[in-house]
Amino acid sequence: MSSPLIDVIADAMINRRVIEQHPKLQPLLSRPTSQCVYDGRPSVEVITGPLGQRVGHCAECAKADKQLAATWPRTWTFTNRHNGRRVTITCLPGCTASHERHMATPTFPEDIVCGTQSDPDAVTLPITDDPECERVDYRVLNTFIEANPFSQEVARRLPHVVVEVLDEHYIEPLDPDGLETVINVFAGRLDELRRVHAELVRVRAAYAARETRIDGWVDQAVGTAS
């Protein structure tokens, strides 16, 4: 009978062999299988991948992987508008674009964009560039994954992240390292927001105390006069 620790060691040995043949998998497979391969959270299941690799999944990623497997691969065909040839492509995993128009009429390949659904929890904030003017609800920090399989910009052919910082203003294309850089910048800004929040609470408390003192002084002054 095997213990969880022995399983984890056995998984690590299998993954070391897989990494020797597929060095690009190193960043993922060097995690112990007790952690989710994607985000490092505690794993609830360990599965064997197509290369024999052993990977852990947290509950959320296990659910997302199953949903993805149900819809992928999605392969379809279109006519290349440059040369009239038929081209078969396989969508980005999780692509929610319908591509109906691309299938129905000759299409320039570089116009094809696969993408995951925009963040369903996308939020807006009332923003203005002039305090005298009306506030407009703009989307902030909306994030999705895209691939432009025939883009002239090679980095766009691979799945990449698009961060919509503010309505229709984007940081893209981001690879995992690029996204991590952006996350770290935002995390630093969050720390600053928290620092300013504490400062505001402190300043307002001091301000309220000052008003009380003035009230107290006024009361006293009135009291002395009467």
Contact 177, 195 (CB under 8 A): no
Least Cα distance to 61 among 87, 80, 41 occurs for 41
Choice from 15, 29, 31, 36 touching Zn ion (CB under 5 A): 36
- Contact between 55 and 78 (Cβ < 8 Å): no
* Burial classification of residue 116, based on how many CB atoms lie within 10 Å of its CB (0-12 exposed, 13-18 middle, 19 or more buried): buried
Could you say whether residue 113 binds Zn ion (CB under 5 A)? no
Q: Which is nearer to Zn ion, 55 or 95 (CB)?
A: 95
- Least Å distance, CB 59 to Zn ion, is 8
Please answer whether residues 35 and 45 qualify as being in contact, where contact means their C-beta atoms are separated by less than 8 angstroms.
no
Would you count residue 39 as binding Zn ion (CB under 5 A)?
yes
How many other C-beta atoms lie within 10 A of the C-beta of residue 99?
A: 17
What's the closest the beta carbon of residue 64 comes to Zn ion, in angstroms? 8
139 to 178: interface string for Zn ion, x by CB under 5 A: ----------------------------------------
The span from the CA of 57 to the CA of 98, in Å, is 29
Binding range to Zn ion, per CB under 5 A, among 52-60, 103-111, 175-183, 209-217: 52-60
Q: Does 28 bind Zn ion (CB under 5 A)?
A: no
Q: Does 55 participate in binding Zn ion (rule CB under 5 A)?
A: no
Q: Which of 19, 29, 58, 174 binds Zn ion (CB under 5 A)?
A: 58
Residues 189 and 61: their CA atoms lie apart, in Å, by: 28
Distance CA 163, CA 173 (A): 9
Q: Which of 29, 55, 61, 162 binds Zn ion (CB under 5 A)?
A: 61
Give the binding site for Zn ion (CB under 5 A).
36, 38-39, 58, 61, 91, 95, 97, 114
